[in-house]
Structure 1
Amino acid sequence: MQTRDARQRGDVRQVGLAKAERVAFALERDIRNGRAPHGAALASETELTRRFSVSRNTVRRGLKLLAEQGLITTRTGIGSFVTYNGSAMDAAQGWSLALAREGDAVETQVLDIRRGPCGRADRFLDRAAGEAGDYLCVDRLRFCRSEGRGISLERSRLPWRAGFDRLLRDGLVEGSISATLAAFGLVPASGCEAAGVLPALGPEEAAMMGRQPGTPMLRLERVVRDGQGQCLEYVESLLDPVRFGLRMEF
């Protein structure tokens, strides 16, 4: 299994990841850590093939993965440029695009991480995973320090796997669901996401987010699967509609 030191130094030889995904994983770290800031041009395809010792087609597939996450945009004949400005929640949010206000400090608080049933998300996970059972349950709140209230409440449910026990003790790898999946050699290959509106926050969610009961929220549900179609994660997110939206390319 890949060591934490290897992840921190950007080593792309991560166990369980295909070559293109390794390229994307390493470049994503550069972007999220600020080494490749918003608006910066990435190295050319030729330079990236040398850096990662892969083919040009592999580099292009890796860049496509980053583009699908909204982290870069590629202009034919010009190059690839970073479009991430620090507002996206993390790669695990799938096709959601965070529209956090620039200059606001957004922090993440893990409210709960436990092993147990999947609760009210059961009907989605049973259908997606094909069976009922144990899950790693992670509840996280993202909040804006300047406002003193939550901007998103996420409930992630991952079918339980060998080795997850240590997460109950040590927490998520790098504080991220996506980094945790990668550390276990679990590679998202497909998924679906549905967006709707929660007309009114209930008392429990309102208290967690520091908002008034009855506040409307954007509600997203997402299922992420591996290459064999098995469920890797189900997540329900309640998002401040002023700060979050959806992006589609057509």
Structure 2
Amino acid sequence: MTSQVFSKRKLIVEKLANQIRRGEIGPGQRLDGEHRLAEEFDVSRGTIRQALGELQRRRLISIQSGIGSFVTYDGHALDQRLGWAQALAEVGSKVTTRVLSIEPISGSQVPGLPDDVALDEAIAVRRVRTTPGEGGAEVAVSFECASVPAVGSLRDLPIRGLKDDSLWASLREEGLIATNGQQSVDVHQLDEREASILGRPVGSSFLRTVRTSYDSDGQFVEHVLSLLDPSHFTLKLTFGDES
């Protein structure tokens, strides 16, 4: 009986894994809930839960206690899979992105990089986003430091710049497409350097998000630390009883 359950679980894992790799289950798309999957595969919810746990260990899916989370800008939900610039443009925001620097760094210099990510060399892309304030003056609403692996064409980013002014497009050009990951958020008081970049008083409170992304094979794609003006950006959660 035990071997039968193991065999069913393995078949479920491989079927779902193949659907994800072939793109039949797209990036960011939710799987059916445990109950529906159990009915589809004619197994117990416990077997489904074990199969989903294996897919998570392979970094093909992310299992959360809630249904999901997303960031909004002035009330508009942003699809972070597109990158900030494209996501902001799609909601019609008047936000301008300015690249501060693109430079090679060592993996040990990446702030908050998870211990399980093996990264010797990286490319750090630092950007500020601004929006028109009172009197037309530009006001900074976010600062972002994105670190990506120094592989292939990405090694040349400090020289040639971002493809189409987009880090998302540069990653896709190299074949790195984020499908899953994790993100944390807290409230952060700006230090002197950050305050100078954002044009705010030292100690001003900003939302700080740290996001690490992987592709469908579990390969590291991107690690992003963002400081977001809480008067514009909000983190929202949705929750329910489905996986």
Deviation track 1:114-151 (CA, whole Å, cap 9, x = no partner) reads 111246535515x242x241101000000113252210
CA-CA distance at 1:188 after TM superposition: 1.1
Indicate the residue corresponding to 1:159 in structure 2.
Answer: 149
The residue that corresponds to 1:143 in the other structure is: 130
Q: Secondary structure at the match of 2:152?
A: coil
Which of residues 111, 116, 133 in structure 1 aligns to 2:120?
133
- Work out the CA distance in 1 between the residues paired with 2:25 and 2:161: 24
Which residue in the other structure is 1:115 paired with? Answer: 104
8 Å Cα contact 2:111-2:225 kept in structure 1: no
| Cα 1:228/1:248, change in 2 over 3 Å | same
Equivalent in the alignment of 2:190: 201
Structure with the larger RCO, 1 or 2 (CA within 8 Å, 6+ apart): 2
Q: CA deviation at 1:93?
A: 5.0
Return 110-119 or 183-192, whichever deviates more: 110-119
Using the alignment, how far apart are the partners of 1:161 and 1:236 within structure 2?
20
Task: Provide the secondary structure at the position in 1 that maps to 2:153.
Answer: coil
| Contact 1:135 1:157 survives alignment (8 Å) | yes
Report how many residues are paired: 172
Partner SS for 1:163:
helix
- Please tell me whether the aligned partners of residues 155 and 235 of structure 1 are also in contact (alpha carbons under 8 angstroms): yes
CA contact 1:128–1:230 (8 Å) conserved in 2: no
In structure 2, the CA distance between the partners of 1:220 and 1:122, relative to structure 1 (3 Å rule), is closer
Tell me the alpha carbon deviations over residues 62-101 of structure 1, each in whole angstroms, 9 at most, x when there is no partner: xxxxxx897xxxxxxxxxxxxx99884864558xx97x9x
Amino acid in the other structure paired with 2:194: E
- Between structure 1 and structure 2, the one with the greater Rg is 2
Specify every segment of 5 or more residues in structure 2 that has no aligned partner in the other structure, as ranges.
1-20, 29-67
Q: Which runs of 5+ in 1 are unaligned?
A: 1-16, 25-67, 71-83
Q: Distance in 2 between matches of 1:103 and 1:177?
A: 20
Output the TM-score relative to the length of structure 2. Answer: 0.59
CA RMSD of aligned residues (A): 3.6
Against the structure 1 CA distance between its residues 244 and 148, is the aligned structure 2 distance closer, same or farther, given a 3 Å change threshold?
same
The whole-number CA distance in structure 2 between the counterparts of 1:104 and 1:227 is 31
